[in-house]
């Protein structure tokens, strides 16, 4: 735990205030053909009014020039130093497919593959097995390989030849190398333990691969599978014990619900549209102190390089925003977990626009919400992992440090 987190935890008190953190995935962008970014181009009267009444700034997600994935981006927004705490690829993938994982479980990403003679891996993707065919195989595996040496095995389908496997049982350890030769036409490489404590896990993983091969024997396309990115559930101190807040998540994709669960948020259900998510916040308003709301559409458009699509997604969001602001949260924050400029068709390192509203702010000159307005904003550039502490401060939930 960082000293800042310890300090905040020591100062935290309970009260009746409400906080809303609206995470617009991929919010930040870059100028398009007409010199304005997606957010600057979008017609967003509600966000603009909030920016005029509140404060603006930029979030540096991890460090200057560093592009973050959704895992570290969200950890930072939830107040965890993303260089100190990390979420492995296996666990992120597992969260992404909605796998149920708990403390002690180990997840890995699986690929169906094809072996030639003497276990030479001739196709690491089994001809990019169709998703539906993978799903059928996984159902069969579920019936035939419920456990290995007392370790429960659960597989979850993903796209095409990909799946996720979760090993649940006592004595598992994530320090296991990939069971994957990395290149084709090489002999199968088996999982090995990187620490003595992980030997049982490596043996279990290899036994699973052998069992898959037995079950699939005779199949002309699929011989067995490769396993990569072994990882357990990270030990994150939860928000309730850290800051005495009851927190809830409304998110449109399993990965974000999973990330929220890791930090101890309750996961609320709703439909996938902006309005569905925001109505759910209304429905649960009295039950929680802190609401994390995640919307994905702006990122998806950015990832497609669809400048106009991202503009539209932001405008559609703005139209529903009053469903949240009408609740009059004490602290209302709109930001993102990373930038996704259409120009780059993917996550980028650019700091993320931040809109911060509370009754205890010093409104700056902003009269609209956009990257360059935020770069001149009164809050300046803030480390993303410090945002949570600032929200607690404005919610009057932190005592004074020192007399």
Which 4-43 positions form the footprint of a second copy (CB under 8 A)? Answer: 4, 7-8, 11, 30-31, 35, 37
- Between CA 163 and CA 256 the distance in angstroms is 18
**Shortest distance in whole angstroms from residue 216 CB to a second copy:** 28
Q: Is 378 in the site for a second copy (CB under 8 A)?
A: yes
Gyration radius (Cα) of the chain, Å: 23
Residue 380 contacts residue 2 (beta carbons within 8 Å)? no
Number of amino acids touching a second copy (CB under 8 A): 64
Q: Write down the least CB distance from residue 28 to a second copy, Å.
A: 9
Instruction: Go through the chain and tell me how many residues it has.
Output: 403
Cβ distance 212 to 226 under 8 Å?
no
Q: Which stretch binds a second copy (CB under 8 A): 43-51, 275-283, 292-300, 356-364?
A: 356-364
Judged by CB under 8 A, does residue 344 bind a second copy? Answer: yes
Interacting residue with a second copy among 22, 42, 87, 129 (CB under 8 A): 87
Secondary structure element (H or E) that encloses residue 59, with its range: strand 55-60
Cα–Cα distance between 362 and 160 in angstroms, integer? 51
389 binds a second copy (CB under 8 A): yes
Q: Where do runs of H (alpha helix) occur along 44-198?
A: 45-53, 70-77, 89-96, 131-144
Residue 211 Cβ vs a second copy, minimum distance, rounded to whole Å: 28
At residue 331, the 3 state secondary structure works out as: strand
Taking CA 349 as the corner, what is the angle to CA 339 and CA 296, rounded to the nearest 5 degrees?
Answer: 20
Q: Which of 27, 364, 366, 368 binds a second copy (CB under 8 A)?
A: 364
**Contact region with a second copy (CB under 8 A), list: 126-134, 181-189, 284-292, 357-365:** 357-365
- The minimum distance between CB 60 and a second copy, in angstroms, equals 10
- Any contact of residue 400 with a second copy (CB under 8 A)? yes
Is residue 180 within the footprint of a second copy (CB under 8 A)? no
**381 contributes a contact to a second copy by CB under 8 A:** yes
386: contact with a second copy by CB under 8 A: yes
* CA distance linking residue 166 with residue 204, whole number of Å: 12
- Contacting residues for 357 by C-beta, under 8 A, at least 6 apart: 50, 53, 54, 55, 331, 332, 333
Query: Applying CB under 8 A, does 300 fall inside the site for a second copy?
Result: no
Contacts of 147 (CB under 8 A, 6+ apart): 153, 169
Q: Do 186 and 178 contact (CB within 8 A), yes or no?
A: no
* Residue with smaller CB distance to a second copy, 215 or 393: 393
CB of 203 to a second copy, least distance (A): 27
171: how many CB neighbours lie within 10 A of its CB? 13
Q: Using CA atoms, how far apart are residues 383 and 276, in angstroms rounded to an integer?
A: 31
Nearer to a second copy, 246 or 372 (CB): 372
What is the smallest separation between the CB atom of 166 and a second copy, expressed in angstroms? Answer: 17
**Which two structure tokens, joined as six digits, stand for 111?**
């690929």
Q: Which of 36/215 has CB closer to a second copy?
A: 36
Q: Which is nearer to a second copy, 7 or 283 (CB)?
A: 7
Q: Does 393 bind a second copy (CB under 8 A)?
A: yes
Q: Please report, as ranges, the residues that interact with a second copy according to CB under 8 A.
A: 3-4, 7-8, 11, 30-31, 35, 37, 62-73, 82-83, 86-87, 89, 92-93, 341, 343-344, 346-350, 360-365, 371-372, 375-376, 378, 380-383, 386, 389-394, 398-403
């Amino acid at each position: 735990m960082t000293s800042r987190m310890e300090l905040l935890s020591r100062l935290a008190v309970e009260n009746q205030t409400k906080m809303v953190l609206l995470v617009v995935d991929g919010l930040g962008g870059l100028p398009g053909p007409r010199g304005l970014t997606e957010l600057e181009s979008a017609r967003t009267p509600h966000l603009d009014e909030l920016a005029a009444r509140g404060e603006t700034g930029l979030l540096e997600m991890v460090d200057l020039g560093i592009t973050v994935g959704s895992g570290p981006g969200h950890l930072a927004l939830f107040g965890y130093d993303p260089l100190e705490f990390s979420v492995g690829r296996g666990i992120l993938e597992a969260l992404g497919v909605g796998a149920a994982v708990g403390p002690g479980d180990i997840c890995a990403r699986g690929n169906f593959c094809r072996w030639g003679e003497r276990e030479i891996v001739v196709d690491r993707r089994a001809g990019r097995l169709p998703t539906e065919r993978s799903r059928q195989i996984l159902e069969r595996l579920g019936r035939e390989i419920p456990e290995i040496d007392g370790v429960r095995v659960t597989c979850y389908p993903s796209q095409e030849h990909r799946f996720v496997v979760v090993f649940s049982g006592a004595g598992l350890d994530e320090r296991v190398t990939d069971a994957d030769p990395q290149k084709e036409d090489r002999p199968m490489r088996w999982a090995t333990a990187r620490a003595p404590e992980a030997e049982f896990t490596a043996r279990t993983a290899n036994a699973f691969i052998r069992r898959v091969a037995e079950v699939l024997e005779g199949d002309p396309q699929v011989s067995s599978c490769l396993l990569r990115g072994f990882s357990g559930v990270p030990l994150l101190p939860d928000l309730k014990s850290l800051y005495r807040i009851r927190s809830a998540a409304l998110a449109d994709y399993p990965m974000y619900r999973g990330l929220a669960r890791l930090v101890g948020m309750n996961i609320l259900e709703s439909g996938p549209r902006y309005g569905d998510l925001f109505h759910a916040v209304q429905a649960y308003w009295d039950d929680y102190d802190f609401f994390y709301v995640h919307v994905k559409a702006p990122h998806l458009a950015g990832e497609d390089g669809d400048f106009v699509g991202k503009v539209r997604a932001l405008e559609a969001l703005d139209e529903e925003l009053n469903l949240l602001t009408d609740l009059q949260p004490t602290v209302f924050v709109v930001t993102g977990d990373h930038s996704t400029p259409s120009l780059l068709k993917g996550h980028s390192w650019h700091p993320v626009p931040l809109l911060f509203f509370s009754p205890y702010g010093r409104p700056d000159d902003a009269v609209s919400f956009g990257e360059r307005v935020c770069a001149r904003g009164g809050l300046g550039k803030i480390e993303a992992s410090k945002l949570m502490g600032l929200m607690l401060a404005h919610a009057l939930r932190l005592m004074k440090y020192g007399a």
